[in-house]
Structure 1
Amino acid sequence: MEELAEEAGITVRTLRFYRERKLIPPPRREGRIAWYDEHHLARLRTITGLLERGHTLTAIAELTDAFEHGRDVGELLGLTGEPTEETPVRLTPEELADYFEGEVTPENLQAALDLGYIGTDGDEIVHISRRLLEVSAQLVREGVPLAAVMTAGRRVREHADALAELFLTTVHEYKADADMDKLRPLAKAVVEAELSMAMDRRIAADRAGDKG
């Protein structure tokens, strides 16, 4: 315990307090000897980093519980399939907190876990898509609450699933042996063009409403 506290830059008293609050897992025991490892050290450094970013110990305990009961990255990829075009991103909890300053709450974290945006790999967090991570962070910086981003993301997921099903059904109706990897860019082009025109229409309608 003394060695772990020294490595983490905290006092033994603080370490005992964290153990009592269940902020770190119990050590591995061999008789009367308690063994701590790099996992415990990483957890302590995470706690210190989150405290420095303004999180309370209660909030950290809730975040830790969400991490431990969330999907690990293996399960996440098993559910979503290995992404073919998206680039996963590995983050520490502190780095995630920096992306969404003040918005990384247990509720938002659970929503991200439920959506399959993130999974855990030991003491790291894996976001399934760098593009989604960057866009979500930019929306938060523009003033949109992360909870609202998550709600919108869930609705977008539903529409995206329906669009993918529509495209696949249409193509397979006329070409059963179609190579969907080759046709994927066509589907993306149609969706991007229609979304662009839809945004033009909505923006024009909003501006016309403002003038009225």
Structure 2
Amino acid sequence: MRYSWFALLPLLLAACNSTPSAVQEGTDSAAAGQPARDSAALPPPDTSGTKAVSALRDTLRTVRERRNFSSPQGPPDTFQLVFRGPSMLEGTGEFTITNAEGQVIFREMLTEPDLEATLVYEMTTPTATRAQRAAYVRRRIDRFFQPSQFHAPAIAATSVFPTEIENLDRAAWNDLKQRPDAIRFDYLKGKEDRQQIAWSPLKKQVIRVR
């Protein structure tokens, strides 16, 4: 018996409607413990353009010098000044002395004004430009460890104990005075605050001697 296609059309449509849709298949798989596809999920963030963070990004200038200091006859210590900040006029210098074993035996922070203060003695005009000030700070940093700033003995035999220095250990000072090979380092902080430091074998630390 021949059937007309028009007569079979309702049966074909019913068969199509009984097939599960793609969304339904996804729902069924999720119910079975499989992750469903989420067309609205965001892609992973693009980090290719992220700016790298470096611990040294703010370091503007570094000077380093190796000198005998804590051990006059032994391996030299490392004197270092690292200046960090957004600019030469807005930074801070870290002055450290590290012995041959890698131990930091002295650390002091120097502000930009500490390094710039003596510019007034060189100015030929009432004021200085930012460029002149920045250049002076750079020069101060570059010349911070001049050979002429290291002295032996650390304390001359004819020196008198400086009572004006607070918390200075007289015993340590007298011990250094008796050591002709002891070495002193001098540096200027601010306009006129001249620091004189030396390693004290008695106290096992750096002390100010003047």
> Same fold judged by TM-score > 0.5?
no
Scaled to the shorter chain, the TM-score interval is under 0.3
Structure with the bigger percentage of helix: 1
TM-score, structure 1 as length reference: 0.26
TM-score, structure 2 as length reference: 0.26
